[in-house]
Amino acid sequence: MNKTNISKLFPWLISAGVAWTIGCIYNVYYGGELSWLRRMYEQKAAYAAQIEAPNRLIITAGSGVHYSVNAEWMEKKLGIPVFNYGLQGDMGLNVIKPLILEQARKGDIIVLIPEYLMLMDKDGLGDGDGLYGSAPFGWAVGQPGLGGIPPKKLIEDTWLLGVTTLRAATKSTIDVIEKGRMTGYLSDPITEHGDPTKVKERTGKWWELKLNNSVSPHSIKVIEQFRKDLEAKGAHLIVALPWIYGSTDQTTKDSIQKSADKLSQVVPTLYNHQTLNIQTDSSIFADTHYHLLPPARIVRSQELIDQLKPYLAEYIKQPELQTKK
């Protein structure tokens, strides 16, 4: 290719670079779904850091935590600080782990409630096929490669930062016209306990979630190391199985039971041994098989309190927690 042909490419390269940069600003800093996830994470990190008590109960994983517990209500019941650190499941365990380790202090009790897709993930890097994935999120928070993402995948996924879909751009345009600002799924305000302030309800038909696999060896390895790393800081890890609107077919029940048994070998694992945390009433769920409506969040939070009390009594050395109502 001669110099003349190369010079003709410059305008196209410049145009492509400008378009990518605009898309990146939209996706990462304001307007795109990744921008709202980044902002929510930064807000939660700041709120959690402000808690100065010697013992904090931090509940974490994806949106199945964010929209399924009421941390403020739990705090009032337990008398210790409780924080909702639910983020987004597509980020994967490899990313959740270092984010929480960075936050953890001596005396903390970390309750991990991962969605089943997160538990069954073979490499811990989450979905990775969209802007909620581990690679784009790492770039968004200024930690490229967060979670040990392989360099090749990191390079391949980086282009997503500057890619804006027509659907997303159209939605943002309509938001600006109708509301005067851009909004997104995670753009709603959160409380100082990390709880959501808006309720999202499903408009489509429900179906029972079915599971065909149990927790992956990689997830077991990550969770076991997570426990060891937290204990080295003087903190503790507990895993709880999520509530789901799910099928009670034998394959699903066997998959959940296998996950519970494998997890119990490496970390304290909380779940209802009769129901396996499978809920059969879709009316208590919000917009996904993991997200609960506010009244159900209270029921779920009370169940967690009851299951956690023996561990809190041991870790915090307050036996009265076993009987506190």
Whose CA is closest to 82, among 72, 68, 97? 72
> Residue 56: helix, strand or coil by DSSP?
coil
pLDDT of residue 132: 67
Q: Which domains are assigned to the chain?
A: 3-322 (3.40.50)
Cα 79 to Cα 88: distance, rounded to the nearest angstrom: 28
pLDDT of residue 325: 42
pLDDT of residue 324: 47
pLDDT < 50: residue spans in the chain:
322-325
Kindly state the tokens that stand for 147: 């979670």
Q: State pTM to two decimals.
A: 0.90
